[in-house]
Structure 1
């Protein structure tokens, strides 16, 4: 798979996630966030498990213990991102949640520094400020209007950034995208259901009322889209993956407007534009500067 094909696979995953925001939001009318996240990823784990078994048979061995440890870490990061996003959707709109979640494109290089000492381009820091201004405008230019759900969505972006960095790292070393996917889904489901049993009441009627949303996000947004993410990340870098995946913000806003009649104040649209500009700048500017520098070096040598 070429890098272009990998990035297009990631773009498809982002489109699926964008549509999933609507299902995640409407499900909150009947079921709590921990049960919803637990059930969606339990379905995803069961859907992917047979393919992970076939992958192990094709390779001729089970994943090594060190790889499984990494897969578990990815699963915990996935749980953090999924549950903070779901809690946030209780008190913010699909549009706000999708754009704020897209801030993981700024978190990815920062997390890469902390974990792997991979220092990003200098452009990351002014872009982070630009993104913060966008968040302020997304609230309508009133800091008091930033909802609790918006803050949960920002926390979600940090967890997604961690998940992207860890998933790219461990899938490139294990070459087992389906085993990683099945493991992270199972970890997320188990942790969420354990907490759900302890803190959230649930009934068959509640599950039945959200069954369509659970099946959609379980099989499509989780089972399919996260597998596409892991497969695509085998053939591209974590920062490039982040920029293509961040397009889910636009898809989320589109589906929120189309299906839920959501709107933004005028300053909110400007804020969305600044956030998306930050996502683009943080990836495109370093690439363009590197190409220009390489072209100068080649002309000097010739």
Structure 2
């Protein structure tokens, strides 16, 4: 018995997207470890130490491949590393004069900045469902930052944080732009080294005091360095097939996982923050929905104009 088929929604994460979800969970779980490390070190020195450890770990397992490093990979890794450090550095500078809730509110702007920059500089306009996902994720991140973060008067700290969001968006776009044209391990080592060197260089202009030796600092740097190595390798690999817009929506779940870990550790999130977290999860689901018709044998065209993912 036949009947006229109607359009249906399907939801499916690719293998690369599942990897990004897993590293976002790791990302969120490192929040408490970073807080502990900040009790024995300044932020810029610790970022430099952490990324130096990450570079050493990746280089250790990629030594034979490093001999084939090309000028293009060196340039790609340098651009990505510069964007990573600019994002970390300016956000840290901003946190010296503005509260963390306000920093979180401003940083959330990187979510709509990614598709906007893609549209302006690469001519790639996101489709309907990804655009709806972006709006949901941005709203969710604003709710997570709390009502005290929404007050802006464009102070130097706020401007520095605002520029950092552009750097974060640029990092995501650059990774996708170079992915597929570089060796993942080689470019990861370069970007980690560049990030570390620039972070150490930031210690001077920020007048940060150098910490003394601490086993907590060493253990934190090695542990978080290992997590950074895994995260950066996975980002460079997965974004070969995952568009910057979809990757951004997955990365937006980082504060959600951080909140879950924090709750396990005894912290309690307000109701608005819980609603914000739910909206971010919904944003990922909505952005991954695809409309398909059962009446045709051929697959539906992608909504966003982006390549289909395996």
If the TM-score is normalised by the length of the shorter chain, which range does it land in?
0.7 to 0.9
**Which stretch shifts more, 120-129 or 66-75?**
120-129
Q: Is the 8 A contact 1:105 1:243 kept in 2?
A: yes
How far apart are residue 278 of structure 1 and its match?
A: 3.5
Please list the CA deviations of residues 79-110 of structure 1 after superposition, one character each: whole Å capped at 9, or x if unmatched. 123335556778537xx95x986764433222
Structure 1 unmatched ranges of 5 or more:
none
Q: Is the 8 A contact 1:20 1:216 kept in 2?
A: no
**Which stretch shifts more, 16-25 or 242-251?**
242-251
**Separation of aligned partners in 2, 1:39 and 1:284:** 37
**Separation of aligned partners in 2, 1:251 and 1:150:** 26
* Equivalent in the alignment of 1:29: 39
Structure 2 unmatched ranges of 5 or more:
1-12, 301-310
**Separation of aligned partners in 1, 2:273 and 2:73:** 43
- Counterpart mapping for 1:17-166 below 5 A: 17-56=27-66, 61-63=68-70, 65-84=71-90, 91-92=99-100, 104-123=110-129, 128-142=134-148, 157-166=165-174
Does structure 1 residue 182 correspond to structure 2 residue 192?
Answer: no
Superposition TM-score, scaled by structure 2 size: 0.74
User: Aligned residue pairs: how many?
Assistant: 282
**Separation of aligned partners in 2, 1:299 and 1:225:** 33
Q: Is the 8 A contact 1:103 1:131 kept in 2?
A: no
Superposition TM-score, scaled by structure 1 size: 0.76
**Separation of aligned partners in 2, 1:297 and 1:154:** 47
* Equivalent in the alignment of 1:173: 181
**1:30 alignment partner, SS class:** coil
Greater percentage in helix: 1
Q: Which of 227, 237, 242 is the matching residue for 1:231?
A: 237
* Equivalent in the alignment of 1:212: 219
**1:270 alignment partner, SS class:** helix
* Equivalent in the alignment of 2:268: 263
Q: Is the 8 A contact 1:37 1:86 kept in 2?
A: no
**Separation of aligned partners in 2, 1:120 and 1:228:** 23
Does structure 1 residue 16 correspond to structure 2 residue 59?
Answer: no
Taking only aligned residues, the RMSD between alpha carbons, in angstroms, comes to 3.6
* Equivalent in the alignment of 2:198: 191
